[in-house]
Structure formats: C-alpha cells, structure tokens
Amino acid sequence: MIKSIVKIESRRKIMFSIGKMAKLGQTSVQTLRLYDRLNLLRAAHRDIDSGYRYYTADQLFRLKLIKYLQETGLSLQEIKQVMEQPDLLSDFWEKQEQVIRGNIQREKERLRMAQFQKRQFETVKLLEQKVGAGVYYRHVNQLIFQQSIKNIITPVDKPDQEITTLDQQLLALGQVPNLEYGFIFPVSEYSSLNDIHYQFQFKTLMNNVDGAIKQDGYYACIAFRWSRAEYLSYYRQLLDMHRGKGSESLMVIEESYPQDYRRLNDGTNFITELRIKVG
C-alpha cells in the first residue's frame, strides 16, 4: 500500500505523495507531472525502485504561486523565467499590485453604478404606483449637479440643447450622465405653462463631484405621466396642499424619469414628479 505521507530519514522531512500534493494544492496529478517535466516544480524526492514522486510542504507554496501566476495570464515558460529571476518577480508583484488596485477601483465603480440604477428603478416603480393617487409625501436624499438656465425654458419647450450642455459638463467631470433630469422653478400662481420659467436644471449623480449639491428632506409630491394638457392641473393640486400646510418653500422641483429605456423618444414614456420641500 502506497502511503500518502512518508518520512525520508536522510533529510528528516515529512513528504507528500504526488496524489496528496495534488489534493493539497487543488490541482491534478497530471499537472504536477507536467510541472516536473518542465522543471517548473521538480519533486523533492523520487523513489528509485517505484519511481513515485514526493514533495515537501514548502513546495506547496511554490505550487500555489505557479497557479496564481497562471491565472494572471502568464504562460508556463514565462512563469519559469520569472521565478528563476528574483528581480523579475519583484517587478511582477509591483505591477500586479497596480493591476489589482485598478481592478478594485473599477469594481467599486461598477458596484456604485449597480446600486444607483437599482435606486432609480425603485423610484420609478414607486412613482408608477403614485400616478393618479394625488399628493403624497416622501423623503428624498440624493446628490445632484445643478446648472442655472440663462435662456427662457418652459414646460412647453424641448430642453434638448440645455440637457446636452449639462451632460457635457458631467462628462468633463468624469461623471456618466443619467437619463433622468429635472428642473427647478419658483412657487407661484401660473395661468399658463408659458409663464413657468425654469431657473435651474439638474441631474442626479452617482458619485460626488465638484459642485455637487445634496437634496435631502421631506417633500410633498405629485406624480403623473408627462402631459402638457394636465401639467397645470397637477401643479395646482400640489400648490393647494402647499398653502394648506403653510410651507415656506419657494421652489418647485420637477423631475422626470423614463419608464422604458427602449422608448426614450416617446414623450408619454416619462413619469414626472413635482415636489415641494415641507421639512
């Protein structure tokens, strides 16, 4: 019976059979034989009579190192060259550290993107439930990038040019623009949509950037599917509540969210929320 662990008296070391070594290193016997033939990981002892290979415990570290280097994309020949020249190995680990740090940063950005998009979709689902339900209240906590509007823009106008300019600013700051967008205008009595002049436009941010503003508070809100014909009606419902609560807020926030990202050019595809801060 072949023992998986033996003691070589001449060296007084515990050694593992090739099968045991393969199990400990989470690899195959065939792989260890290949490493032996390539002189990449030679067996520490080979029985003259049986031909069985045996490995020492410290060779387990070398085995794991070889496997790691393979995972980085190096060929076995490149691994052999790197491991035979300590200076190359030192440079390699320096580069690996940089690569890993870069990967970690990219993964963090991907995580932030996933979390942000999840929140946006949850908001859209909430607004879908609130459409036609009248005034409701919710807490809003988000970072925005806000830009003053120089030209006259009303809910009647298509703000494509202004939104594009805002997107370009965000791109220059290293921020990927989102499809949602919003406007801010003063609380007032309006008899026509043409009387509503947006003072600011904004987009929500995934990451903090220079000039970011935090919207954080309790808001009275009303949600509806975008409609010029019904916009003022919904606005007046919100304004009546505003008067009844005695809120001192002087600004209205309008934010629009696409319901279906496949139909962005369809104006009816957007849900709009008007909100006034009440606390």
Looking up residue 265, the CATH number of its domain turns out to be 3.20.80.10
Same domain, 205 and 124: yes
Same domain, 112 and 233: yes
* 93 inside domain: no
pLDDT at position 2 over 60: no
Distance of alpha carbon 50 from alpha carbon 1, whole angstroms = 12
Domain of 42 in residue numbering reads as 5-84
Same domain, 24 and 142: no
Same domain, 138 and 184: yes
* 176 inside domain: yes
Give the pLDDT score at 7: 53
Number of domains in the chain: 2
Same domain, 139 and 233: yes
Nearest Cα to Cα of residue 120 among 13, 276, 255: 255
* 99 inside domain: no
> 240 to each of 24, 155, 195, 244, 245, how far by Cα in Å?
73, 20, 18, 6, 9
Distance of alpha carbon 212 from alpha carbon 220, whole angstroms = 23
- Over residues 70-109, the pLDDT tens digits come to 888 888 988 888 888 877 777 878 888 888 899 999 899 8
Give residues with Cβ within 8 angstroms of 35, minimum separation 6: 41, 63, 66, 76
- Over residues 137-164, the pLDDT tens digits come to 999 999 999 999 988 999 998 888 888 8
Q: What is the CATH number of the domain that holds 69?
A: 1.10.1660.10
pTM tops 0.75 = no
If one compares 17 and 2, the residue with the highest pLDDT of the two is 17
Give the pLDDT score at 63: 92
